């Protein structure tokens, strides 16, 4: 009788371990699926850059509008120095463009991207497609140091 109880408790413990092991595997699979679903991009990288450039041109009051990236590329071939024709005349225009980039960044990248990486992406975007400044850049540098 004693041996039977021991065997029964051993089987119960074994089955409960088996149950928890399978439960953990199932839970990990669900967490993975949830993470994969949250990392789906809402817009492509090209569309994001196009939107950022269009917002930049809208802020400086250029009056230019394009329907898609191909039109913008064709126009830039005709006007290779287009970025020198327009400028951010005030810091507020620059900050408005930066805030637009930050607020729409997570439509392009997953939420797990840290703010520091987002700021670095903005700096690269500003380097590649940013307009020149009509104000002293040192003012921005001093404000960012604070």
Residues 83, 18, single domain; the answer is no
In sequence order, what are the residues at sequence separation of 6 or more whose Cβ sits closer than 8 angstroms to the Cβ of residue 52? Answer: 97, 100, 101, 104, 125, 129
Model-level pTM greater than 0.75?
A: no
The pLDDT score that the predictor gives to residue 26 is 58
Pairwise CA distance, residues 100 & 49, whole Å: 12
Which of 91, 103, 73 minimizes the C-alpha distance to 144? 91
Alpha carbon distance, N-terminus to C-terminus of the chain:
77
Residues 64, 133, single domain; the answer is yes
Residues 93, 34, single domain; the answer is no
* Number of compact structural domains in the chain: 2
pLDDT > 90: percent of the chain: 12
Pairwise CA distance, residues 108 & 30, whole Å: 24
Residues 4, 57, single domain; the answer is no
- pLDDT, one tens digit per residue, over 2-34 is 555 555 554 555 566 565 565 556 556 555 555
Residues 49, 113, single domain; the answer is yes
The pLDDT score that the predictor gives to residue 19 is 59
Residues 30, 54, single domain; the answer is no
User: Per-residue pLDDT for 37 more than 60?
Assistant: no
Residues 26, 49, single domain; the answer is no
Residues 86, 52, single domain; the answer is yes
Q: Is the dihedral of CA 132, 79, 60, 50 positive or negative?
A: negative
Domain that holds residue 32: 1-38
Residues 13, 76, single domain; the answer is no
């Amino acid at each position: 009788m004693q041996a039977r109880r021991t065997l029964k408790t051993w089987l119960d413990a074994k089955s409960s371990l088996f149950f928890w092991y399978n439960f953990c595997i199932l839970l990990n699979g669900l967490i993975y699926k949830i993470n994969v679903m949250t990392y789906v991009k809402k817009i492509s990288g090209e569309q994001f850059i196009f939107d950022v450039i269009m917002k930049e041109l809208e802020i400086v009051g250029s009056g230019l509008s394009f329907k898609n990236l191909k039109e913008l590329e064709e126009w830039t071939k005709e006007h290779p120095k287009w970025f020198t024709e327009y400028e951010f005349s005030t810091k507020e225009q620059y900050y408005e463009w930066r805030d637009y980039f930050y607020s729409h960044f997570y439509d392009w990248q997953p939420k797990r991207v840290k703010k520091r990486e987002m700021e670095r992406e903005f700096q690269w975007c500003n380097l590649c497609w940013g307009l020149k400044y009509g104000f002293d850049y040192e003012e921005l540098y001093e404000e960012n140091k604070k």
